[in-house]
Amino acid sequence: MNRRIFLKGSVAGGTVALAAGAGLITPGQLLAAWPKSAFEAKSVGDALNSAAGSSAFGESSSVIVKAPDIAENGAVVPINVKVEGGNVESISILVEGNNTPLVANFNLAANTQADVSTRIKMGKTSNVMAVAKVDGKLVSAKKEVKVTIGGCGG
């Protein structure tokens, strides 16, 4: 990490902390863009409507989902999603078998390489779906992941 990036990040973080400490910024303002209804939705369609504004999507070879075939622990399943071509606005990751299917939502800046990685929780063997908003349309891909030990409690 170079010094300039470190200093910029430190100043920005310190400014936000100072403003929050002084009561100028409240946690509600910091989390105002949080799509609460999307993460609380009980179906894939409702989650996509809340997160992306539509539930109509089609499968596409431009969306690539990398996940293990078998996850020994459903509490930490590594996922990578890459979208090739087009102006990718967002990537949503959903687990069809979870009680609340939306597990991650990434909003991307224009002209950004659409390649995200994270770890998700899965309660049971299920399809992991990646839905990307590309040039205003939703495209998707999915992969089945077998879970030996569920990670969603219960």
The CA dihedral of 85, 86, 87, 92, to the nearest 10 degrees, is: -70
Q: How far apart are CA 20 and CA 121, in angstroms?
A: 31
Q: Which amino acid is at 125?
A: T
pLDDT given at position 95: 96
Instruction: Give the right CATH number for 36-149 from 3.90.180.10, 1.10.630.10, 3.90.220.20, 2.60.40.2470.
Output: 2.60.40.2470
Average pLDDT over all residues of the chain: 84
Instruction: Tell me the pLDDT tens digit for each residue of 53-81.
Output: 887 888 999 999 999 999 999 899 999 99
76 CB-near residues (< 8 Å, 6+ apart) = 119, 121, 151
Contact 105, 35 (CB under 8 A): yes
pLDDT given at position 28: 54
141 CB-near residues (< 8 Å, 6+ apart) = 59, 60, 61, 63, 64, 65, 129, 130
pLDDT given at position 151: 63
Kindly report the pTM of this predicted structure. 0.76
Instruction: Tell me the pLDDT tens digit for each residue of 93-138.
Output: 999 999 999 999 998 888 888 999 999 999 999 999 999 999 989 9
Question: pLDDT at residue 29 above 70?
Answer: no
